[in-house]
Amino acid sequence: MYSFKNDYSEGAHPRILNALVESNFNQEEGYGEDYYSKKAIELLKQKLERVDVDIHFLSGGTQTNLTALSAFLRPHHAAISASTGHINTHETGAIEATGHKILTVESSDGKLTTAQLQKVLDIHTDEHMVIPKLVYISNSTEIGSIYKKDELEQLRVFCDDHGLILFMDGARLGSALCSDESDLKLRDLPKLVDAFYIGGTKNGALLGEALVICRDSLKEDFRFHMKQRGAILAKGRVLSIQFLELFKDNLYFELAAHANKMANILRDGFTRANFQFLTHAPSNQVFPILPNSLIAELEKKFSFLIWEQVDANLSAIRLVTSWATKEEAVSAFIEELEKLLQK
Amino acid sequence: MYSFKNDYSEGAHPRILNALVESNFNQEEGYGEDYYSKKAIELLKQKLERVDVDIHFLSGGTQTNLTALSAFLRPHHAAISASTGHINTHETGAIEATGHKILTVESSDGKLTTAQLQKVLDIHTDEHMVIPKLVYISNSTEIGSIYKKDELEQLRVFCDDHGLILFMDGARLGSALCSDESDLKLRDLPKLVDAFYIGGTKNGALLGEALVICRDSLKEDFRFHMKQRGAILAKGRVLSIQFLELFKDNLYFELAAHANKMANILRDGFTRANFQFLTHAPSNQVFPILPNSLIAELEKKFSFLIWEQVDANLSAIRLVTSWATKEEAVSAFIEELEKLLQK
Amino acid sequence: MYSFKNDYSEGAHPRILNALVESNFNQEEGYGEDYYSKKAIELLKQKLERVDVDIHFLSGGTQTNLTALSAFLRPHHAAISASTGHINTHETGAIEATGHKILTVESSDGKLTTAQLQKVLDIHTDEHMVIPKLVYISNSTEIGSIYKKDELEQLRVFCDDHGLILFMDGARLGSALCSDESDLKLRDLPKLVDAFYIGGTKNGALLGEALVICRDSLKEDFRFHMKQRGAILAKGRVLSIQFLELFKDNLYFELAAHANKMANILRDGFTRANFQFLTHAPSNQVFPILPNSLIAELEKKFSFLIWEQVDANLSAIRLVTSWATKEEAVSAFIEELEKLLQK
Amino acid sequence: MYSFKNDYSEGAHPRILNALVESNFNQEEGYGEDYYSKKAIELLKQKLERVDVDIHFLSGGTQTNLTALSAFLRPHHAAISASTGHINTHETGAIEATGHKILTVESSDGKLTTAQLQKVLDIHTDEHMVIPKLVYISNSTEIGSIYKKDELEQLRVFCDDHGLILFMDGARLGSALCSDESDLKLRDLPKLVDAFYIGGTKNGALLGEALVICRDSLKEDFRFHMKQRGAILAKGRVLSIQFLELFKDNLYFELAAHANKMANILRDGFTRANFQFLTHAPSNQVFPILPNSLIAELEKKFSFLIWEQVDANLSAIRLVTSWATKEEAVSAFIEELEKLLQK
């Protein structure tokens, strides 16, 4: 049964596996001090058009979030997140386990605005409360929405005005940047956020996220924090070789564009059939609202998540596409949908 | 220049890369709930001759140590370790970062004895001190020594008598079990220790350690702890496919035996040349004590660590062999040594 | 200017100071192992009609909450609290600093119901989320409401059914128990909650809270946790002598009853003047909603907190009474109010 | 039976109790923002001859140590301490519970030297190890020794040269400063250390330590850290009133001088009887080495700690004197000693 459950159902893009095979017997230094890591960092700096950022490769999103946030914050500092933010909902209290409170903001589209941030600041006035210090955003968000450039610029100004760190979770950054609606480029990010990561796991790598630290004051001793959290691999090459391959040409963006294209086909299919969506998600996740009976039929041939009950008869489902999604599977899904609707 | 610096200088055994390639496009569940993880767990249970252990795959040694120890201990519990123990020396305070003190014992051979443990217990008498609760041992140790079966049996009895958890760091377990001097089998371990891990990273895998939890009371909710520490990979298959390949026949042990054989050749060469060793290390690490002038010459052709200054003229070096060490490199090293000595 | 800002504006009840003076030169063991501590524990057990509870004296509310919760919970466990709960709003992330997430529930009256708890449990289904393990309630709550016996009985049954720990913050327990509307007795509490504390600081002591641990499984090694959090005073007698004095007759309850009586007078005054209240608070806090202009006039003669803006013209203020509140001050306040209203 | 077990066996100096009684009904702000706290801070600044230090009152030594160190250090930073240091031996892992490793140095006199510190720095070279960042010293030390001014000056220079924070635990600072052998004044300390505390609990207060933060970079947001660790008392006056009384004239120093004088009498008695001492301790602790048979006799009339077994027949005992020690008790002890020796 074909799965649209997530964007990490398959292994890695074949070129990545090939790169691992080809480099396999070269002897290298351990712990990310190898040739490939240096080269991958250099390459990413070129792509970012910035030589003054620090780049580190970590294994996964939760690890990157907890290592970065605990390194950036002092004990009495808190992170602000949309209530749907991954650190708040699906990381088993990883941030709190490093000692930090997450202050949540209800947000219908998974994004944060300066007005919402201002409200949080307004009620944190003295030493009986934590100091909100870091703004955690995801792009694309957990519900598929994306940030436009001017939205980030507003957050940037607000954070500068209020001494806040702006951190972007980029587990699905590729899909966000390659969205039809995006006006944001990878090279824009170092100017807009203080740190962010370029997600590899959900865009063609076996595993791996590239954390980019843009603000000088956050760079110090970061490898100590990584080691302390168990986030330095002995064979650091395993991560860097993959990022080298993803960025030595435009593979990273091609894979994300493919995922988005597959999502667009699904979205168009639902739209043609006059279904509505839970959220405006112009990336690689699609959240159509469907009758429960229809969902039950679709589940016989495809696997996907039932995201949320909307009312007694309707539920939103989540379909996720990826670099590996086959166009024929997408077509089959829409055909099945249309066939079921004609009954 | 050929490197004897460590056992993680190369990628992975080709069969492992091949297994990743072959399984690459199969769609699987995420987070270690995939087919391969289930199968690898089943296979390891067979090898351990135990169905009642819990097995989890993690990325590296520090991550495994900190996740396990913080899951097993309550806030006022401490771990006892040899002062040379990896958690004490080379994990950047990872255990303390989860809130736990490490009580260290000076040990000339890197191993712990019941007499040493008793001394630690004797001085921890009341609530002004932590409670020593977990005994951390490494096999092979950080300085290449190994535990014999009766040594572990004595530790087991002592731990049972005193309510202690016995935890074995198995980053180099393969080499320990395949040592010429070992009388220990993999299947013995669940009877002897409460939890241990089977190191993959240093024995042929790209990355990955298989944690085996033997004591029932330590098993509960372990995946929650893993997730909280960032230790569940989205593509859990990346780890389990490698362990499947390592254990579907005897590859794991063949690779370790090769590493040990290469170390033996080096050791024999130093012995023939009448050099002494810092420590009795019948595994894949060799610590000969050499004149500094000789070391300087050897460094021109090979890379290795200078481990410790012994006196004004002598230092111990560390040579590490692995599954990937080439016999011709080992021969070349010994030839070079003998040539230099004839001068 | 007379202050109704809080219930810790003065020192201690004179009998308490006297008890400290009288016992001053008796030599005693340190760290809570003194004669007075043993005696006070014995006395409290009598009052609770239970010999099988453990009792510990700590310095203040935040310290008690953080020590208890971190001792009771494992790393992946979370506490459920009303969003108004003290641990969530006014303890500077103290619980998170020990590694635990607080799951908040919006509650208009500051209390928790089983229906609210069920909703929290419903959405915490797997290892990507924390496990809700402890229910934190305050009695009286931060906004002056109190729990009736049947409300606690319902929570008790729910917690038993779902393996939850029920913890009551009793910083203002005296006022709650002595409320005109309370049907709860001190001796009921060990049957209803797993642990709670009897607040001294806000009811006549210089400092001090008596933590009562009722559930056996939570008792183990608690003094280790206290010491680790800096919560064992060298001169433990300072706390126990005060509790001895508070409970050797009914002083504790007399003081609370006085505070409530003073609050009732204030409440009656506002009711007579047809003002409404932010919340139903039958304890020692009064939250009348007043015109801003009136508030400004009252502030010229009395100090109190402006709690919350209700609309453009109205705000709720908070008046707190205590064991030390003088009836003439209360009368003067109401007189001033009535005088201002006649203008 | 008269106790020489410790310096916290009695309550507080009567003048302190009196000050609490006299101020008792004055209404004050909570949480250390009261009149007395402001006044006590001002007074201490005068005594320290420094207006630019920050002063905070906390309840006890462990609380002060853990709050200060966790505020001053980032996650990968460690504290260096003599192995006898209180934070290492008798605080139940309180520092580790905030996430920080303690690096210990064997020291026969309980003090640290720059040579010892250099050795610790020498072996902490990269991100696989913690960064030694704070030097923890006690004055007087846990075994009664004291720092001379030039010893502190050397530590100061070393810490400046190596970017280290110098922190002095002053639980027994009074006794150290008033030692016959001391050339150190209270006002010298802000120039010599980055932070220290003036112990009240062991020098005449019911409870309370005054933490003095001298280095600007350590001052920021300290009250947030205090609140988060449960170290801000609602009735902050309880601490500040005591320090006001201790320092409004020379009471603090008079009490310490008395304690030292009582210790000197004991020390002289042992010296006259030709006993040796475990350590050179010119403060309020005396560690004579006595035959076990003699100790057994003395224990019939006095209580004290048996500190350490020296050989089969001899043990060191610890006698502690304080502000409350009666000269007649000291004389009685020496008389008893001499009587027993004449038998």
Q: For residue B260, give the CATH number of its domain.
A: 3.90.1150.10
DSSP string, C278-299: SS---SSEE-EEEEHHHHHHHT
C64 to chain D: closest CA residue:
D230
Smallest Cβ–Cβ distance between C92 and the set A92, A102, A127 belongs to A127
- Nearest-CA distance from B205 to chain D in Å? 22
Q: In this structure, are B262 and B236 located in the same domain?
A: no
Amino acid D248: pLDDT: 95
Other C-beta atoms lying within 10 Å of the C-beta of residue C321: 28
Q: How far apart are CA C187 and CA C283, in angstroms?
A: 19
Amino acid A343: pLDDT: 80
Residues of B in contact with A60 (CB under 8 A): 230, 232-234
A226 to chain D: closest CA residue:
D127
**Element holding B213 (H helix, E strand):** strand B209-213
Query: Residue D242 phi/psi, 5° resolution?
Result: -65, -40
Q: Do B201 and A235 touch (CB under 8 A)?
A: yes
Mutate to test the interface with D, among B88, B101, B130 (most CBs of D within 10 A): B101
Residues of B in contact with D8 (CB under 8 A): none
Pairing of strands C165-169, C131-138: parallel
Residues of C in contact with A78 (CB under 8 A): 93
Q: How far apart are CA B171 and CA B108, in angstroms?
A: 20
Residues of A in contact with C127 (CB under 8 A): 92
Helix (H, G, I), strand (E, B) or coil at A277: strand
Residue B288 carries which DSSP code? B
Mutate to test the interface with A, among D29, D74, D100 (most CBs of A within 10 A): D74
Mutate to test the interface with B, among D92, D125, D307, D308 (most CBs of B within 10 A): D92
Environment class of C222 (CB within 10 Å of its CB; exposed 0-12, middle 13-18, buried 19+): buried
Environment class of D217 (CB within 10 Å of its CB; exposed 0-12, middle 13-18, buried 19+): exposed
pLDDT category at D171 given cuts 50, 70, 90 is: very high
Smallest Cβ–Cβ distance between C11 and the set D24, D30, D97 belongs to D24
Amino acid A176: pLDDT: 98
Length of chain B: 343
Inter-residue long-range contacts of D147-153, CB under 8 Å, 24+ positions, other chains counted:
D147/D111, D147/D176, D147/D184, D148/D181, D148/D182, D148/D183, D148/D184, D149/D183, D149/D184, D149/D188, D149/D192, D151/D111, D151/D113, D152/D184, D152/D188, D152/D192, D152/D193, D153/D192
List chains touching D (3+ CB pairs under 8 A).
A, B, C
Q: How far apart are CA B298 and CA B335, in angstroms?
A: 11
User: Quick check: A240 and A43 in contact, CB under 8 A?
Assistant: no
Residue A221 carries which DSSP code? T
Report residue A332 as tokens: 């089959």
- pLDDT under 70 in chain A at which residues? none
* Average pLDDT for chain D: 97
Domain-ending residue, one of D249, D265, D293 = D249
Which residues constitute the domain of residue D31?
A: 14-249
Q: In this structure, are C227 and C124 located in the same domain?
A: yes
Amino acid A156: pLDDT: 98
Smallest Cβ–Cβ distance between D75 and the set A31, A76, A228 belongs to A228
CATH value at residue D185: 3.40.640.10
| Residues paired with D286 in a beta bridge | D319
Q: Do A17 and B21 touch (CB under 8 A)?
A: yes
Q: Do A324 and B233 touch (CB under 8 A)?
A: no
Amino acid A231: pLDDT: 98
Q: For the segment C179-228, what is each residue's pLDDT rounded down to a tens digit?
A: 999 999 999 999 999 999 999 999 999 999 999 999 999 999 999 999 99
Q: For the segment B58-77, what is each residue's pLDDT rounded down to a tens digit?
A: 999 999 999 999 999 999 99
Pairing of strands C314-320, C288-291: antiparallel
Domain-ending residue, one of A249, A264, A281 = A249
Closest CA to A82 of A106, A51, A109, A52: A106
pLDDT at B343 over 90: no
D226 to chain A: closest CA residue:
A127
Environment class of B263 (CB within 10 Å of its CB; exposed 0-12, middle 13-18, buried 19+): buried
Q: In this structure, are A191 and A326 located in the same domain?
A: no
User: Quick check: D131 and D101 in contact, CB under 8 A?
Assistant: no
Q: Do B224 and C70 touch (CB under 8 A)?
A: no
Q: How far apart are CA A176 and CA D65, in angstroms?
A: 47
pLDDT mean over B326-333: 98
Q: In this structure, are B94 and B40 located in the same domain?
A: yes
pLDDT mean over B141-163: 98
Tell me the residues of B at the C interface, defined by beta carbons under 8 Å apart. 31, 70-71, 74-76, 98-99, 127-128, 130-131, 221, 223-228, 232
pLDDT mean over D309-332: 97
Residues of D in contact with A127 (CB under 8 A): 221, 223-224, 226-227, 232
List chains touching B (3+ CB pairs under 8 A).
A, C, D
Q: Do B224 and C71 touch (CB under 8 A)?
A: no
Amino acid D121: pLDDT: 98
Closest CA to D123 of B280, B96, B307, B343: B307
Alpha helices in D133-250 (DSSP H): 149-162, 173-177, 189-192, 222-228, 237-247
pLDDT mean over D317-343: 97
Q: Based on the structure, what is the number of domains in chain C? A: 2
Amino acid D343: pLDDT: 81
Q: In this structure, are D102 and D129 located in the same domain?
A: yes
Q: For the segment C139-173, what is each residue's pLDDT rounded down to a tens digit?
A: 999 999 999 999 999 999 999 999 999 999 999 99
Q: How far apart are CA C61 and CA C54, in angstroms?
A: 18
Chains A and D form CB pairs within 8 A to the count of 48
Alpha helices in chain A (DSSP H): 14-23, 35-48, 61-72, 86-89, 94-97, 114-122, 149-162, 173-177, 189-192, 222-228, 237-247, 251-272, 292-298, 327-342
Amino acid C343: pLDDT: 81
Report residue D258 as tokens: 């008395």
Q: In this structure, are B229 and B148 located in the same domain?
A: yes
Residues of C in contact with A75 (CB under 8 A): 93, 97
Domain-ending residue, one of A249, A283, A304 = A249
Q: How far apart are CA D259 and CA D277, in angstroms?
A: 19
Report residue C141 as tokens: 């709550």
pLDDT category at B223 given cuts 50, 70, 90 is: very high
Smallest Cβ–Cβ distance between B224 and the set C98, C127, C232 belongs to C127
Q: Do D29 and C206 touch (CB under 8 A)?
A: no
Q: Do D221 and A70 touch (CB under 8 A)?
A: no
Pairing of strands D276-277, D288-291: antiparallel
Token pair 């160190």: residue:
D69
Mutate to test the interface with A, among B6, B31, B209, B228 (most CBs of A within 10 A): B228
Say what the alpha-carbon torsion angle B10, B14, B16, B19 is, to the nearest 10 degrees: 150
List chains touching C (3+ CB pairs under 8 A).
A, B, D
Q: For the segment D101-155, what is each residue's pLDDT rounded down to a tens digit?
A: 999 999 999 999 999 999 999 999 999 999 999 999 999 999 999 999 999 999 9
Closest CA to A62 of B63, C95, D73, B209: B63
Q: Do C228 and B74 touch (CB under 8 A)?
A: no
Q: In this structure, are B264 and B171 located in the same domain?
A: no
Smallest Cβ–Cβ distance between B228 and the set C31, C76, C225 belongs to C76
Q: In this structure, are C274 and C185 located in the same domain?
A: no
Residue C171 carries which DSSP code? T
Q: How far apart are CA B31 and CA B37, in angstroms?
A: 9
Report residue C195 as tokens: 């642990």
Mutate to test the interface with D, among C238, C318, C326 (most CBs of D within 10 A): C238
Smallest Cβ–Cβ distance between A224 and the set D70, D131, D221 belongs to D131
Q: What is the pLDDT along chain C (343 residues), one digit of tens a residue?
A: 999 999 999 999 999 999 999 999 999 999 999 999 999 999 999 999 999 999 999 999 999 999 999 999 999 999 999 999 999 999 999 999 999 999 999 999 999 999 999 999 999 999 999 999 999 999 999 999 999 999 999 999 999 999 999 999 999 999 999 999 999 999 999 999 999 999 999 999 999 999 999 999 999 999 999 999 999 999 999 999 999 999 999 999 999 999 999 999 999 999 999 999 999 999 999 999 999 999 999 999 999 999 999 999 999 999 999 999 999 999 999 999 999 999 8
Angle (CA) A205-A210-A213 rounded to 5° is 170
Alpha helices in chain B (DSSP H): 14-22, 35-48, 61-72, 86-89, 94-97, 114-122, 149-162, 173-177, 189-192, 222-228, 237-247, 251-272, 292-298, 327-342
Closest CA to D102 of D126, D64, D143, D132: D132
Where on the phi/psi map is residue B230: left (φ > 0), alpha (ψ -120 to 50), or beta? left
Q: In this structure, are D177 and D305 located in the same domain?
A: no
Mutate to test the interface with B, among A62, A65, A90, A96 (most CBs of B within 10 A): A62
Amino acid C285: pLDDT: 98
Q: In this structure, are D224 and D76 located in the same domain?
A: yes
Length of chain C: 343
D22 to chain C: closest CA residue:
C11
Q: How far apart are CA B146 and CA B159, in angstroms?
A: 19
Q: In this structure, are B318 and B203 located in the same domain?
A: no
Q: Do A76 and D128 touch (CB under 8 A)?
A: no
Closest CA to B139 of B5, B283, B6, B8: B283
Q: In this structure, are D197 and D290 located in the same domain?
A: no
